[in-house]
Amino acid sequence: PLKGSLSDEAIPKSAARVLNATKIRHRVQQSHGTNSLEIRPGEPIQHFNRRVEDDMRPLVKSAIQASKAIIRQTLKETKRAAQAKRLKLTSPSTSSPPLQKKHKPNQSPSGSGPRPSAQIREFEKLSTSLPRRLNDVAQAPPLLTTLPRGVKKVQQADGASKHDGILSMAQRAMMEEEREKAIKKYRMLKANR
């Protein structure tokens, strides 16, 4: 080496500690024995328990992740086996079916635009024979499809509700007429506002 190289320079002890911090840290950890989980003198049991949980948390987390990965893998294998069995039963050909690439649900196989056979979600389908006007929903009286909380429907022994057994056909017709009158009055009040 050259006579004036940095390796021959005198370095202060504090600077040498900074430069050799990893070696010093490793040496201190070995001397203190931080790997052993023992209660320290004067340490409360809650602090010791928290320290143990903090040390064990990464190990437990990795073990849980590994077990979940194994479970997912076995589920995938069983699904593949069931699908292969189904394909063998449906097609008598001995050649294995070609594997298809998985596509995103809203894209076509070519990757441009939405897929034409996108799954239809189960929503209420409205008939398009009569167009819905703007105020149809706002002027209709509220529909009570479910009972309020705490109110129970009274059932008779044969399964019919108590309300259904009382009304005759004439009473039902009268109730329907009164309902129509109430709806008309409701719409008149809404229109006058």
| Average pLDDT of the residues in 43-68 | 93
Cβ partners under 8 Å of residue 116, min gap 6: 108
Tokens coding 178: 């009164």
Q: Measuring CA to CA, which residue among 123, 122, 104, 124 is closest to residue 114?
A: 104
Contact 65, 71 (CB under 8 A): no
Q: Where are the domains of the chain?
A: 45-87
Instruction: Report whether pLDDT(12) > 90.
Output: no
pLDDT per residue as tens digits for the range 64-122: 999 999 999 999 999 999 999 888 888 765 555 555 555 555 554 555 555 555 555 56
Distance CA 118, CA 125 (A): 17
Residue-level pLDDT at 102: 54
pLDDT at 132: 66
Mean pLDDT, rounded, of the chain: 76
Residue pair 105/119 in contact (Cβ under 8 Å)? The answer is yes
Confidence at residue 14, expressed as pLDDT on a 0 to 100 scale: 80
Per-residue b or e along 8-43, where b marks 16 or more CB atoms closer than 10 Å to that residue's CB: eeeeeeeeeeeeeeeeeeeeeeeeeeeeeeeeeeee
More confident residue, 18 or 126: 18
Most confidently modeled range among 19-33, 89-103, 106-120, 152-166? 19-33
Q: How confident is the model at residue 9 (pLDDT cuts 50, 70, 90)?
A: confident
Give the pLDDT confidence score for residue 22 in this predicted structure: 84
Measured between alpha carbons, how far is residue 8 from residues 11, 15, 16 in Å?
A: 9, 15, 13
